[in-house]
Amino acid sequence: MSKSFEENTKDFYKELNGKCDPKRLLFIAEQGIFLKEPLFNYDKIKDHEFVVDISIINNQFFLINNDKQYNRLKYFKDYQLVSNVHTSEYYENGIFSLIIINKFFIDKLLSEKDEDFIRKIREANEIEFYLLYLYNYSHIYTKTFILFFPNNYDEYIIPDIKFEIFKYFYSNTHKYLLDDFVKMNENNMINIIKKIIEKYGKDINILNYCLDIIKQYNLEIKSIYGYRVPMNHSFEVLKYYSDKI
């Protein structure tokens, strides 16, 4: 008799916080779990190649820290995977949008010879997103960088802030960028928070950040495509945050 996602999730985190056998974790994950946050927070597993499989299967962000993980990612280039967690965001952007960009990954891409793989990585995000990292890691000069960005944005259009979000939650640098962006756009804050919840709420830490902003500014967030919280989480988590947001 197959177990529910909730039961599998309990088994997964028990193993993750216990013996942390990568093969066992992958087996459980393949049955369907609710992966509440990226696995780089768990030292025993964060550098194992199965982090890529587990994260992709269950629609969660992940880091590429070494060659084994990078090569494992390339395995998925031609693999038609169906995620255990069905969300519109997943189908819109695909598995390569789940990659948390770091210096190792950028350096590997710059020496990559597989043009089809590069194209699929490129198509997963806006070109400006990658330019920010190239600039961040000093691969392009300022005069080149600014050529790709407009002088100003329409106040009612929310620019892509994936770079700011990834820096805030998955890096030890430039954490102020996201806070500054939210504060500077107070008139559009509700739409900004809705967008963050919709696209990045699969990570429970990002949900908590949004909840703090909602409380701080007394915001009223209406449903997002018929639900209040992304369907990446267990029923217990969904109920808690749906009541709070």
Same domain, 27 and 100: yes
Spatial distance between the Cα atoms of 138 and 122, rounded to a whole number of angstroms: 19
Helix (H, G, I), strand (E, B) or coil at 229: coil
Q: Which domain holds residue 225?
A: 150-244
pLDDT of residue 27: 98
pLDDT of residue 91: 46
Chunked into runs of 10 residues, the chain (245 residues) has average pLDDT values of: 88 98 98 96 97 96 98 84 52 81 96 95 90 89 72 64 94 88 89 92 95 93 73 88 83
pLDDT of residue 226: 63
Same domain, 45 and 154: no
Same domain, 41 and 111: yes
pLDDT of residue 231: 81
* pTM of the predicted protein model: 0.86
pLDDT of residue 22: 98
Contacts of 18 by beta carbon, 8 Å cutoff, 6+ apart: none
Counted domains in the chain:
2
pLDDT of residue 74: 94
Q: What are phi and psi for residue 2, nearest 5 degrees?
A: -75, 150
Residue 196 falls inside a structural domain: yes
Residue 234 falls inside a structural domain: yes
Nearest of 126, 109, 125 to residue 117 by alpha carbon? 109
Task: Identify the bridge partners of residue 224 per DSSP, sorted by sequence position.
Answer: 227
Residue 213 falls inside a structural domain: yes
CB 15 within 8 A of CB 24: yes
pLDDT of residue 144: 77
